[in-house]
Amino acid sequence: MSRTHLLSSLFALGLIVSGCKEEKKLDSPSQGQITVAADESYQPLTEEITRTYELLYPRTKFKLVFKPEREAIRLMLEDKARICIVSRKLNANEQRGLDQHKIVGSATRIATDGVALIINKTNADSLMTVAELRGVFTKQITLWSQLKGGNQTGPVTLVFDNPNSSNLDYMLTKFGVKALDGLRITTANSNRGVIEYVRQHPDAIGFIGVNWISDGDGPVSAELSKNIRVVGLSEKENPGSRADYFQPFQQALGLKDYPLRRDVYILSREAHPGLGSGLTNYLIRDAGSLLIEKLGLWPQVPYNREVRFR
């Protein structure tokens, strides 16, 4: 082989090796691309926080995948997503999936949200006690006529987004329900689908993640809130006035007045200080918490609005 050919071969080999190194370059909080899996209940939240982060750091990119909660967690465990945004920490079986690969993982609470109950605009029964709701899930209450203050008389239909969703899991856990037999439940494939179903069926109670309707300034929230009513809930068995009922909006979440509140977590399998931890750290600091507030949820670290007078 001539000297020229030898040098050319070495140069080409160097380019290949350099290219491989470039492909293996780790992402960082300010650059790179990762996949984020999220429960579909948190789609508006996930889209807004990742969009904002990409604007702050133009060299970052998030591929978003929306699935029912159990599937979103599975994607993270199978290394098909770096992080997932869900309503709970890993259970023991799921944690073993990370332990087998010697991955520590992390769970960071970023906000408090709530499961919102929505009804058709023509339904007058917009106030309910937790005891009444428990009665519905334990099949002691099956008809609207068994609830106080309503103008519906038929069976109560419960509408969820998906059989594996965080909304349904939360409600079943809340009331200790082990089986769905005898419950009049239908699924609508998405939180948006739940809203559309309720708009068309006065006998339905829909269960959605409140972030779908909590952004008061957002056009999507405004559009989705049309022709539905948000149910106020009371933990008192015999409420004395409307002041004893609370809707799942920011102040009631932060003050723990709304009964169906829950945490929002980012679960991560990231083994280095990468883009996943960059997004997480942003959300638990002042700027990120202000964004979560704007979306109508209660941030893990409330934004400090301290004003100093001289």
Residues with pLDDT less than 70, the chain: 1-24, 216, 219-220, 303-310
Q: What is the DSSP string of the chain?
A: --HHHHHHHHHHHHHHHHHHHHHTPPPBTTBEEEEEEEEGGGHHHHHHHHHHHHHHSTTEEEEEEEE-HHHHHHHHHTTS-SEEEESS---HHHHHHHHTTT---EEEEEEEEEEEEEEETT----EEEHHHHHHHHTTS--BGGGSTT----SB-EEEES-TT-HHHHHHHHHTT----TT--EEE-SSHHHHHHHHHH-TTEEEEEEGGGT--TT-HHHHHHTTTEEEPEEESSSS--SGGG-B-SSHHHHHTT-STTEEEEEEEE---SS-HHHHHHHHHTSHHHHHHHHHTTSEESS---------
pLDDT value, residue 152 = 86
Length of the chain (residues): 310
pLDDT value, residue 220 = 67
pLDDT value, residue 59 = 98
Take residue 71 and report the two structure tokens written for it.
Answer: 């599937």
CATH code for the domain defined by 118-261: 3.40.190.10
Percent of the chain with pLDDT over 70: 88
pLDDT value, residue 15 = 46
pLDDT value, residue 1 = 52
CATH 3.90.1310.10 assigned to domain 26-112+263-299? The reply is no
Query: pLDDT (tens digit, 9 = 90+) per residue, 41-92?
Result: 999 999 999 999 999 999 999 999 999 999 999 999 999 999 999 999 999 9
Residues 6+ apart with CB under 8 A from 59: 30, 31, 32
Which segments of the chain belong to CATH 3.40.190.10?
26-112+263-299, 118-261
pLDDT value, residue 175 = 97
Question: What's the pTM?
Answer: 0.87
